[in-house]
Every structure is written in C-alpha cells, then in structure tokens.
Structure 1
Amino acid sequence: MRDDKYKWIEPKELPATHVKELSTSLGLNPTLIKVLLNRGLDNEQSIKNFIEDDQEAIHDPFLLHDMQKAIDRIQSAIENGESILVYGDYDADGVTSTAVMYETLEQLGANIEYFVPDRFKDGYGPNMDEYQRFIDAGVQLIITVDNGVSGFNEIELANQNNVDVIITDHHELPDKLPNALAVVHPRYPQAEYPFYDLSGVGVAFKVAQALLEELPTDLLDLYAIGTIGDLVSLTDENRQLVKWGLKQLQETQRIGLAKLMEVAGLNQAKVDEQDIGFGIAPRLNAVGRIENATKSVELLLTFDEDEAGKLAEDIDGINKKRQGLVQDIYSEAEKIALDEDHKNRETLVVVGHNWHQGVLGIVASRLVELTNKPTLVLSDSEMSADFKGSGRSVPDLNLFNALNQAPNIFENFGGHHMAVGLTIAKNNLKSLEEVLEKGAKEADISYKNKAELKVDAEINASDISLDLIASLKKMGPFGTDNQQPFFELKHIELKNVKAIGQDSSHLKFALPNADGQQIDAIAFKRGELADQYANATDVSLVGTLSENEWRGNVKPQIMVKDLKTSGIAIIDQRTNNFNVNLFQNQYVYVFFHEKLLEVTQKNIPNRELVFYKDLEDNEDINTFAIVDCPESMEDLESVLGQVHPNSIVLYFFHQTDFYAAGMPTRQEFGHVFSFLKQNNNFEKAKLGTVSKTLNIPNEKFNFILNVFFELNFVKIDNGLLKIEPVTDKVELSSAPIYQRRKRLIKVQEQLLYSNSNELTQLITPYLGE
C-alpha cells in the first residue's frame, strides 16, 4: 500500500571509501559526510567552508544598487537635523527591518521616527494618505523598509513636495519602478550584488552596515528573526549571519525579546531556528494580522522591563486569538476547496465573507498543504466591498509572475514567487480564477503530481544517535534552500503504534535499533493511519532527526515527513457491536450472510454492500471491509484471493460466539434426550422453559434439538415432540448442523481470538498478488 504524499527522490550511491576518507580527515560523522556529498559539496575544502564560520560570505554592502547614493543622503539628513521617517511593514520581517533602521539612525543622532502601516486601514506598502500626513508634518526624508517598490504614486507625491524617498526592499520588482532617490534592492537589474535572497531586514541591515562602517553585531538577533520569519533562502550570506544571529539571540540584551521567549515557553540559552520559525516569528506576525504592528516594534526597542513584560503578554494573547481565527476560517475554506466546483481545478481561489483578512495567508498555506494547489484566499468585509487576501504557491509556479500577467484586474497587488497579497473588485474575481488557472497550465503543473521530497541519505535505526544529531547541527541553521537532512529508513517494523493529540490527529510509533532500544517517531497530521499501521512489518519512511527532552532525559527521535508500507494493509477493527458507524466510509463492504446483507441494505443507503459470492475481481478498490465472520476459511480465502485493495478492514461481526459457547457435551445431549424420552409427546410451545429446567443455555439447547431433528431422533407431530425409535447406532457428529458448528468454532477461534499480529500472519497468505 502507498500512503506516501510525496515523490521520493532517492540519494545517489556514494563510494564507501570516499566517504570514509573524508570522514577520517575532517573528523566528521560519515552520515554527515554522505549528506554533504549528496548536496554537492564534493571535496574537503568545500565541506570545511560550509561547516566552519565563513567571514568571506559577508558581502560588501556598497555592491547593492544605489547604496552609496542612499548613504550620502542619509548622512546629509543627519548632519542637517532633517526629519527622517522609517516607513515599515507589519510582518516579522517588516517590524525587525523597522527596528534595525530606527536603532541605527538613532545611534547616529538622527532626528528619527518610525511608522508601521495598519494592514486594515493602510494596506500593504506605501499609502497615499499616510505619505501626505507625514509630508504635512514636515518629514524631509522617507526611508522604506521591506516595502516601497510598488509605491509609484505615493513616491511621486513625495517628489512633488520635495521629500526624498529611499526604498530598501526585497520584493519582486514591477515592470515600472517608482522614481525614488535611491532603490536599494538585491535584485535590481544589472546590479552587482552577489546574493539575491536578502530579506527586508537583510537589506536594512546592509544599510546599517554601510552607515556604521562595520558589521553591526548587536542587530544580528533581529536579522535572524526577520530572515527566518520571511522564509528567504538560508544560504550564502543569510546562513552565516543567521548563524551568528542565533548566538546573539541566546544572549540578547533586548528585554522585550527575552520576555517574548519566556511567554512562548522557549529556553533562551538554547533557542534555535525552529524556535524562531514556530515560536517568535508567528507571535510578531500575529500582531500585524490582528491589530497594528507598532506594538511589535515597541517590544523590540524597549529597555523598560515592565513595559516589555506587558507587551510580551499582550502579543502572546493576540497570537492565541489568531490561532482561533485561523482554525475557524480554515474549517470553512476547506469545505469550499474540496467541493464539486473546486476539486478538479489545478488552482484554488477560495472566497469567503467577512473572514478576518489578517490570517488569510495562513489559511492559504494550509490549503496548499492539503491540496497541492496554488491557492488564493480572499474575503470582503463590512468596511469594503472589495476582496482582499493572500496567496501561497507550490515550488513549480511563480505566483507573482502568473498573476502579474493581468495587472489591470487588481486594485492592489504585490509579492514574490511563493506568496502574494492582493485587493480586487468583486467583478474581477472570475478573471482572477482564469488568470491563475492559465498560469498553472503554462507552468505545466498538476495537483495530481506529488511534490518531490529529496532524500539526503539512507540510514538504519542503529545509525540514529544523539552524536549524529549533534553532527548534523553543523549544517545549520536550517531553512529555505538549506533544509534539515531527510533520511530514509527501509523495511522496518513498527512498535506501539497509536494516534495521539487531543483529536488523535497525529501518529506516534517506535522502531527498535540494533541495541534493543526503541526510537520514537512522530508523523504530524497522519493519525488516521494508526489502525492501518498497527501491525505493519514492512514500512519505509522519510524524516528528520531531532532531540526529545523530557524531564532532563534527552533521546533521539524521528519527525516523519512521509511513509509507506509494502503490500496490503490489514486493519483490525473486530467488533460484536453492529451499528451504522461501521459504514461511515466509502469502502466496499463484503458480507458472508445474505440475511444480514438484506437488513443492512434497508438501513444503510449510498454504500457499496456486496454478497461475497457476487464479488467481482476489481483492481480499483481502495479499501474494502469484511463485515461479518465467514463460515469457513475457504470462503474467506476465496474473497481475499480475488481483490486487490490498498487496505482491508476486518470487522468480523458475529451474532453468536460459538467458540466461547463451545460444543455441547455428551452429557448435555443425554440430559435433553432423557427429558424428551420421559416427556414423550411434549408440547413444542413449552420448550422455552426446558433449557432452564435442565440448566443448559438456550442457544445450546436449541442446537441439541436441531441435531436430534437432523438425525431423526425426534419429530414434531401436531405441535408435539415425539421420540422416534432408533434401530441403528448413529453418531451425533454425523449431523450436518453438528459439523457446521464444529467448523464455526474453529473459524472463530482463528479469526476472533487471535491477537492482531497473529491475525495478520493468518490473513496475509490469502491475499491476491
């Protein structure tokens, strides 16, 4: 069975001698060497450069386009005491960019203030009303951070009022750039900067580096947060600066960040890139999604411990509110994404009413993960009839380029390869759907094609250790374009399989290593596989390695990205409780008893219910369920041998437990016969009381009577039971009903009283190829 969601790209085979030589000469774990070789670092020097701190990775800030022009103008403004405005953005990258630029200019003695636009009032990027407000207030120089390249009209307004604008940005450049005094951008056409993937805070940091004429190490913590939070490439300069930034964050003097880590439950001394990605950045982002993000900038800049504590608590509360909004909106959006109108589209435009527009990007990300489709999530509001929202993409579609083919349909639009933000009138929604579908067609993508998952190395469970995990950390910090290594483990047997979490949505299991120890593994959002994998003995998985610390105990664990099992999965759900809940899924339900099938058909419509003799060989069955217990192993074998499902669910419902009841003893047969002989011509209507008189269970008593009837020991005449004379000796076991019960006892012993492992071993040989 294949439950894998990804197309696994296997690692290339490496010469063992080469791996051993590099491992010995560099003093590095051989598994780490395999990973680095598979990532293209094919010699000793390149591996050294990657593992060790590389000062040469830090590029000259003056290689950025217009940097000298920007620095000259800023220095002039500082010297002349001009009023300078830092115009920021409301996400984690934007607020850290604002803090970096503000702190740097304040340190240089500038007459400085900052402004973070309100997502709901001002929208993304330059805003005409806000520009006018600051121009009227006497601002003489505006420096944008993490925005600006889409502000054509606003910057024209500034120029007309003799206010200079310096743009520092990293977003996709439009065809026509604003007429700013300087555009500092790593991707500016024909520019000489050697690294394109700076974040907004990265560009602001390079301005700070140029102004201060040294690397501003006290700003590296902000660099790390903004860069990781914006999911830009963690290679080249970014990787080195974030590496240093994590060390700075572990010792940060920013009381606000320290308080935020505290409320997030993070250990500051051990904070890493995952803590930023899942703990710090989401909280900073949440403020701009729900309220005005100025609160986040205040947190980063404050030196007041009481204020820092209050701000951190407020931000944590806002984040919890954000999480609730996301869940509520996602529940609605998911239904739309999977409905008949959308399920066969290559892309999704999901439209809601009065959804909180600050969290639509998160919802879009989750829908991409669910459907493998580029997705836009939009909503109108009581404040505006226009639809605002966000989009997220898949790697093979540049979402910005795809939508930028029709720029005139947007009221506002910006973004990059993987994410966009937009505002659009209701009458253009249909055009938006068409443009996005066209972009997917031109990029030749299909949601049916599994995304690729590149495996870095194949390992065994015995290779996994805390020492290996410590070695792998030398590759960090991990993130976009420098992912944690993915390891494949093949042909493993799972232990202690169970669904965990409040809603049982996650899968947890263990696998033994060579030392007899067990390594825990967790697969998020795969809890539905718990029954299916409970007895799996041949599983392959791909995952990352991490440490799990519990009460001072540190153990290695596997975070499973994807998994699959060979053969057909056998899911043990045996029951003696027959109810409608057994028929909730779109299975093929197989019955061995026609009467039970007929009753079920009357009460359970819209399900495929089949009598076992009518079952046809069908290779398209995904899952079929055996509802009731067969009367012979041969009947079961005939069913299992002709179907080819991915999985089999075994209910084996039975009305009578013949194995538990057993076969009546000869003494019990004798008691019944003696009673009938002593009470010849006994009224049939009174038989119900006889089993109690003889202290024989009613089911057994009726069975004994049926044996006597089949052997012609008794007959019914005018409602009276009469003993028939027996001339020849007849064995009780010769009765057909006796043989049937004997067979059922054996079948039920095997199918109902075996444990799950024994049942799997029993069933497997019957399965068709």
Structure 2
Amino acid sequence: MIQSKKKWHIQKPDDQIVQTLTTGLGLSTMAAKILAARGFTSIEQATSWLHMDEQAIHDPFLMNGMDEAVFRIEQALDEGEKILVYGDYDADGVTSTKVLLDVLYDLGADVIFKIPNRFTHGYGPHIDLFQEAYDEGVRLIITVDNGISAVDQVRYAKDLGMDVIITDHHEPGDVLPEADVILHPRVPEDSYPFGELAGVGVAFKLAHALYGELPEHLFEYVAIGTVADLVPLEGENRYFVKRGLEALRHSYNPWVHAMCEVSGQDQQKIDEESIGFLFGPRLNAVGRLGEARPAVELLMSDDETKAMALAKTLNDANTDRKDLVKTITDEAIAMIESDDVLKNSLVLVVAQKGWNPGVVGIVASRLVEEYYKPTIVLCIDEEKGTAKGSARSIEGYHLYNELAKNRDLVPHFGGHPMAAGMTFPAEHVDELRRRLDTQARACLTEEQLQAKLFVDIPLTLEEITVDAIEDIAKLGPFGMHFAKPIYALEQMQIASMKKIGAAHNHLKLEITDGALSIDAVSFNNGHLADELTYGVNVSFVGDVSINEWQGRKKPQFKVSDVQSEEWQLFDIRGIRQTSRWLQQLPIEDVQFIAFEDVTITHYASLLPKPILHVLRNDEEISTHGFVVLLDLPQNVQMLQTLLLEKKPARIYAHFFVKDSHYFSGMPSREQFAWFFKLLKQNPNLHWREHFPKIATQFGIQEDLLKFMTKVFFELEFVRIDKGLISVNPSPQKMALTEAPAYKERQSRIELEQLLLYAPYAELKQWFTANMHNNNM
C-alpha cells in the first residue's frame, strides 16, 4: 500500500459533452475532456475561449478617472514638468514601471523612476522617497502597482505641492488616499468591465489611453507581470498573456535574449511556465535581497552587452535567493521537529533572528507544502524589538480574519484569506501562536487538514499521443483560475524503474496497462524506487509532456504523486550484507520480525530497532503495518496465522537461513542404503575422524553423512558411543520417514522451496492468498 501525499479528487467529465467538443472543435479527447472538466458545455462557449481577439480589450477610458489622468499627464508634458514613476520591487511592479516609462519617454516626458527598498522603506509609497523626488524637481507622481492604501504618504506629497496619480490593483481600504486621480479596476466597484487586472495591466491601460492606440510593443511586459502576480488568466488578462507570449517568442529586445541565455530557455518555446518559473523569479530576486533597480534597467536596456551583464546580476541574485530559502526552510523544519508543542500546533508560527524578510513568504509556502498547516514565518529584529514576516494559509482557515481577532497583539498586518504580511512586537510571538492554534482547533476539521489535489481527468494510455499533447497547447495559457491540467493514470503497473540523477533523487520508470506503455519521470521522488514493486496496481497523477531526442518525439508522463491500495512485497532475500537491504527500508515505519531466538541474537547489533519475536511479542506487531520477516518460521502455519491476523500493508521478505538444506536436498534411498552398508563393512567408524575422508572419497557432503547418521540413530539402526558408530545387529524394521530428523529436514526443504527459493510472482501469490484465507 502506498499513501498519496494529498487526497485526490478525480473529476469524471460528461462523456456526451466530451464527444460534442471533440467533434465540433476538432480537438483530441484529452483537450475536450479538459474543457468539459473546466465547465465548458457548448461549442460556442469553448470557441470564444479558444479564439480570443482584440474584442477582449476594453476601451481604457471606461476605467474611472482615465480622462482626468490623461489630461493631467498631457498637461505635464506640455509644461515640461518632471514626472516620477513610483514602482514596486516585485515582477509586477518592475514591469509596470517599464510600461509607463516607455510611453512617457515616447511622448517626450522628463521622467525618472524610483522603487522602494524592501528593507529600508517597505512596501508602497514612502515619504522619504517622495521628499527626495520633490527635491529633485518632481511635480507629478504616478504610482504603479501600489498606492491605494497610502493615505498619509499621498497627503504628504500633496502638502509638498506635488500632484499624485495612483494606478493600482490591490485591495482598497475603507479610506482612499486624496490623490488627484485614482486608476483602479475596482474603484468604484464594478465601474470597469474587468476587475482582475494586475498592476501592469492598469499601467498598460493608461499607456493605451496615452498612445491613443493599442501599444502592441508592450504586450511582452504586461504578460510577464500578469503571470508573475498570479491574477486570474481570464478576460483581458488571458488576451494580454496570449499576445505577450507570442511577442516574447519573436522579440528582438536584448533583455529577452539575455534572460533566455542565463535561464537556459529556448526563446521559441517560451510559455507561461517560462515566465512563472524562470523570468518572474529572476525579476523578483533582486528586490527580495536588495535594490530592484537592476531589474528595471534590464527591461529598459537596448544594448546586448549591458543586458547580459544585468541578466547575470539577476540570475546570481536568484541563485542566492534559492540558497537563502533552502537554508531558512531547513532551519524552520529543524525548529518544528525539535519542539513538540510547535510541531503539534495547528498553526505553525516560527521566528528567528537573522532571517531575511524578503524570502520568508516563500519559506512559509514551503512549510505549508511540507505540513499542510497555516504558517507564519517571522524575522526577529532584536534592536527594534519587532517580529516581521509573512503568512500563508490553507483552505478553510481565513488568515486575514483570524489575524484580525488578535489586533491587540498584531496592530500592523494586511492581506487576504490565503496570505498576509505583518509587523508586531516580538514579545507577542508565543502568545500569537497559542491563540491562533486555539482558533484553528475551533474551525478546522481533520479533513480540512489533509492536503487535496484536484485532478482534471483520468486518461488511458491510448489517449496520450504527441498530437494530443500538442493539441492541449491550444487551450493555454494556463494560470490562476485556469490552471495547467493534472491528469490521472489509474490502476497501472510498472514495467521498469530506476533511480536517476547524480544524487539518485529522481525516478525514471515505464508505466503499462498490460498492452500499451509510456515513459515516465518523477523529479525529487527517487525514494519511490524503494517503495514501489512490480506486479502491483498503482495509480499516478501528474502532467504530460513531449520528450524530444535526436529528432524523435515521444509522449512522457511526469509523475507528481502515486497511490496504491494493494499490499506490497519487497524481495530482499539472499542479500547477505545487512547494510545493503537496510538502506532500502523506511526505518521509522517498519517492524523487524523474527521466529527464532538465534535470529534475534544474530541481528541485535546490526539493526537500528528492537526485533519482535512472533511468539512473545505478537500483540506489539502492528496490524496493516510494514514488517521485515527476518527469518523463516518454524512451520508454515506460524506465518499463515501472522498474515491472516495482521494483514501487513508492506512485507520485506528476507528469510535469512544460516544453513540451507534446499540445494543439498534429501538423500535418496540408494544413498541411505549405500551408507548403511558402508557402516556395516566398517564397524566402529569415528565420525570426526572418518567422515571428512568418506565425503572426499565418495563425493558426498559431510553434512549429509551426519544427517543420515542421525536418522539411523533415531531409528536405532546404529549406536554411537564416544563418537564411534556401530550397526545394531538386530534393528527393528522402520521406514526412514519415521525419524524426527527426516521429518524436520523434509519440512524445512519444503518451507525453503515455498518461501526462500520460490520466484517472486509465486511468493506474492502465496502471501496474498494467505492474507485472505478465512478457511484456515
């Protein structure tokens, strides 16, 4: 049995709808199933999604305040006023800054930009930077991707005599800043046809209005900010990203070439994942660790050499960021695992001095993946006496509302149901942890604390073709509210598998349904090679892709999770070196089982856990657990009883035997007769002295001579006195099979044949039959 990491919910699309979409749209069944699973029920509905055009773009002047914003900016252009574009340090803020700088430069503006430092200024407008801008002659400030909550800062700028235009998309508060103009897709509510624009989307709308026509040369920037900021990929956002990806694949901009070079991305194959996993993190990295200015300068650069140098700077920062995340994550996990109170809390709150506040949000996400609990990661500033950090939640735990119940402890926080940021006195950390745990126990159920995975569709191997996978690309781009599909392969078997990678931490396998097969790979799951066995029905979830090698294309399944309801047999018979098979075991979960005292003596110093004796410790052996059968039972009934009562979910069969009888076998009647005749002809043989010579002379094992002697002795065919063997002149007539030694050896040989030397398939079949044999 293999437990999946998450609880799967596999959707079963309506067959009739799938057939309608397949026929009407000319799509593969895979693509049609995905659309059906996502709620598309008609050809018209699916067509409008698949074939978006410029009609998806709304008139920018529909946005409240656009007329006033354009008028004020044109006034600044006419009068030569200096303009400040005030951005943000993430990918959305950086691309927003680039978009607005481009249009203002094109229109001849005297313009500069500033981006706050995460550590010095924090998020959003800062009065020091506004004062700095005023001193530099700025008379008009335009914020991008921030400002909607900057009530005090805007008032400060206005008091200095500057005008302020806010362009933002974040959640507005109850009180809005007294800016000259606010451009926000949800302010007032429902005033603009599409309210889910990213910050760069709002900047793009302003650029569209200022240019007087659709600025197609800016699509690549709006695509990056939109994907990176995780806004829903529907409506205008979907069109922005679709057009932006096309532009990026054919872009001549030096920064695109440089970014592809440092990230190893083929420019012709740029997709939404390239932005989400390669470009976005690099644009974010510099702002997480220090100044975000190099990211803007990269996007602004028109020189190949400068662009490459800046791209390398971003790439190095991203490497440092990943190292920092790993270090802090490892430290946080060690902290949790070493503290039972913390580990058992339903809300994880970890705090440490020296942690970088720029990456704790990522760390919190990693900890949620690891423990599936709401998590807060805090950086302690001992000098200021504050705790500053980020939080991530799970479905069912409204993070913002739960934090709001503790305003006496956490006066400064913001966020939404799934994420938040906060700063509060460090002395309140422990009390906040205690309170949030109490609140979680009142609202979270056991089911809610189990991670869920929503699988779009089950597939057959017959459906997975290169053409079908290429067909799926027509459904993209994928992102928030239209996630990349997750597929299931149910009740498959493994044809082959092996660990790959320098650290053997990845898994390559071949999955089969008995008739067809597909190559598969599972990254960072090399350990599954020690948990999966052949001949067991296994279900897989993951993604499909095309593996291209030397011009040949083949479909491939990327496994993210596995599960099996069947018990598993792991064959570690015949491996003499204990260390070799021991490393294959999940030590924390297995129980070592022995039938003989001598086995316990032999292995006591070699194994990391105590050995349970079947007869003495039967009640301690777990039902449905993982067991290692160290040796053979004294008889088959002992093992049958154990299997029927305990029904192990996983069996590691070792069956160590110090002296096997199977291959030496049972002497034939002719051998018994020959040896008895030899004893009669040579009275008073001394077994110690003569058996080695007899064994060598007649080519028979010395152990067999000893065994036959024991049989003769038990049947009183011979006498033994001080090692001397003499034949009884008048023995009672008895069959050889009556001797206890004969019966014991015969039983042992049969047991070894059944358990120790049987082929794997036969052994698995025997175990299965005896775990469910109710007629024993």
TM-score normalised to structure 1 length: 0.90
1:554 aligns to what?
553
Aligned-partner SS, 2:257 = helix
Could you list the per-position Cα deviations for residues 328-356 of structure 1 after superposition, in whole angstroms to 9, with x for gaps in the alignment? 22222223334422333222112233233
The SS at the match of 2:646 is coil
Q: CA deviation at 1:565?
A: 1.5
Query: Does the 8 Å contact 2:403/2:410 carry over to 1?
Result: no
| Greater alpha carbon shift after TM alignment, 431-440 vs 221-230 | 431-440
Q: CA deviation at 1:731?
A: 4.9
**In structure 2, do the counterparts of structure 1 residues 603 and 559 end up closer, same or farther at CA, with 3 Å as the change threshold?**
closer
Is the 8 Å Cα contact of residues 197 and 232 (structure 1) preserved in structure 2? Answer: yes
1:702 shift after superposition: 5.0
2:525 is equivalent to residue 522 of structure 1 = no
CA distance in 2, matches of 1:622, 1:305: 61
Residues 1:102 and 2:111 aligned together: no
Amino acid at match of 1:226: G
Q: Where do residues 62-141 of structure 1 align in structure 2 (5 Å cutoff)?
A: 62-141=61-140
Residues 281, 125 of structure 1: alpha-carbon distance in 2 compared, 3 angstrom cutoff: same
Pair 1:748-2:748 in alignment? no
Q: Which of the numbers 741, 761, 764 marks the counterpart of 2:765?
A: 761
Residue aligned with 1:357, SS: coil
- Looking at structure 2, the residues matched to 150 and 677 of structure 1 have their Cα atoms a distance apart, in angstroms, of 111
For 2:324 and 2:681, the matched residues in 1 are separated by: 79
Cα deviation, residue 209, structure 1? 1.9
Determine whether 1:314 maps to 2:313: yes
Q: 583-592 or 638-647, which moves further after superposition?
A: 583-592
The alpha-carbon distance between structure 1 residues 152 and 689, as it changes in their structure 2 partners (threshold 3 A), is: farther
Matching of residue 336 in structure 1 with residue 335 in structure 2: yes
Q: Structure 1 336/679 Cα, relative in aligned 2: closer, same or farther at 3 Å?
A: farther
| Deviation for aligned residue 1:143 | 2.1
Within-5 A mapping of 1:670-681: 674=678, 678=682, 680=684
| 1:43 Cα deviation after fit | 1.4
Pairs within 5 Å for 1:256-295: 256-295=255-294
Paired AA for residue 145 in structure 2:
D
Whether the 8 Å CA contact 2:599–2:630 is kept in 1: the answer is no
CA shift in 2, pair 1:629/1:720, >3 Å: closer
Distance 2:121 2:475 in 1: 41
Per the TM alignment, residue 324 of structure 1 is displaced from its structure 2 partner at its CA by 2.2
**8 Å contact 2:592–2:609 — kept in the other structure?**
no
- Corresponding residue for 1:656? 659
Q: Contact between 1:411 and 1:425, CA under 8 Å: does it hold in 2?
A: no
The one-letter code sitting in structure 2 at the alignment partner of 1:143 is I
Partner of 1:370: 370
Change (3 A) 1:471 1:687: same
Q: 1:394 to 1:698 in 2, by over 3 A?
A: farther
The 1:83/1:534 distance shift into structure 2, 3 A limit, reads: same
Contact kept? 2:636, 2:751, Cα under 8 Å: yes
CA deviations on 1:122-149 (whole Å, 9 max, x unpaired) are 2222233333322333322222222223
* Stretch of structure 1 that moved more, 447-456 or 243-252: 447-456
- For 1:157, the aligned partner's letter is Y
Of all paired residues, the percent bearing the same amino acid is 38
The residue type paired with residue 743 of structure 2 is Q
Alignment of 1:309-458 (within 5 A): 309-338=308-337, 339-380=339-380, 385-407=385-407, 409-410=409-410, 413-434=413-434, 436-437=436-437, 440=440, 444=444, 446=446, 449-458=449-458
Question: In structure 1, how many angstroms separate the alpha carbons of the residues matched to 2:436 and 2:218?
Answer: 40
| Equivalent-residue separation in structure 2 for 1:487 and 1:182 (angstroms) | 47
Q: CA deviation at 1:463?
A: 1.0
Query: Contact 1:497/1:509 (CA < 8 Å) preserved in 2?
Result: yes
What's the offset of the Cα at 1:476?
A: 0.5
Contact 2:13 2:33 in 1 (8 A): no
Contact 1:588 1:625 in 2 (8 A): yes
Q: 1:434 Cα deviation (Å)?
A: 4.5
**Secondary structure of the residue that 1:68 maps to in structure 2?**
helix
Shift of 1:245: 0.7
Q: Distance in 2 between matches of 1:356 and 1:700?
A: 74
Amino acid at match of 2:250: E
Gaps in structure 1 of 5+ consecutive residues: none
Per-residue CA shift, 1:8-36, capped at 9, x if unaligned? 334345243x5434422322223322322
Once the two structures are TM-superposed, the CA of residue 260 in structure 1 deviates from its matched residue by 1.0
Does the Cα contact within 8 Å between 1:62 and 1:68 map onto a contact in 2? yes
Equivalent residue, structure 1, for 2:473: 473
Aligned to 1:24: 23
C-alpha displacement of 1:496: 0.9
* Amino acid of the structure 1 residue aligned with 2:549: W
AA aligned opposite 1:493: Q
Residues of 1 paired with 2:21 and 2:586: CA distance?
A: 58
Runs of 5+ unmatched residues, structure 2: none
Query: Is this contact kept in 1: 2:9–2:454, CA < 8 A?
Result: yes
Of 368-377 and 314-323, more deviation after overlay is shown by: 314-323
Q: Measure how far apart 1:248 and its partner are.
A: 0.7
| Alpha-carbon distance change, 401 to 224 in structure 1, aligned in 2, over 3 angstroms | farther
Question: Per-residue CA shift, 1:81-124, capped at 9, x if unaligned?
Answer: 22222222222222212211222222221211112222223222
Q: Which residue type is aligned with residue 529 of structure 2?
A: A
Offset at residue 529 of structure 1 (A): 2.9
RMSD, matched Cα: 3.3
Looking at structure 2, the residues matched to 758 and 390 of structure 1 have their Cα atoms a distance apart, in angstroms, of: 55
Aligned residues: 766
Give the direction of change, closer, same or farther, for the CA distance of 1:56–1:767 in structure 2 (3 Å limit): farther
- Alignment of 1:628 onto 2:627: no
State the alpha-carbon separation in 2 of the partners of residues 687 and 498 from structure 1.
49
Deviation sequence 1:159-217 (CA, Å, 0-9, x none): 22122332222233334433333332333353412333222222222222222222221
What letter matches 1:349 in structure 2? Answer: V
Output aligned runs, 1:189-268, within 5 Å.
189-268=188-267
Match of 2:197, SS state, is: coil
- Between 1:303-312 and 1:127-136, the stretch displaced more is 127-136
8 Å CA contact 1:415, 1:421 repeated in 2: yes
Structure 1 stretch 744-753 or stretch 706-715: which is displaced more? 706-715
Between 560-569 and 599-608, the greater mean CA deviation after superposition: 599-608
The separation in 1 between residues aligned to 2:445 and 2:191, in whole angstroms, is 33
Residue 587, structure 1, aligned to residue 590, structure 2: yes
Q: Give me the whole-angstrom Cα distance separating, in 2, the residues matched to 1:383 and 1:310.
A: 37
Amino acid at match of 1:418: M
Alpha-carbon offset, residue 732 of structure 1: 4.5
> What is the deviation of 1:465?
0.7
Tell me the CA shift for residue 606 of structure 1: 5.7
The amino acid across from 1:274 in the alignment is: E
User: Structure 1 CA distance, aligned partners of 2:141 and 2:546?
Assistant: 46
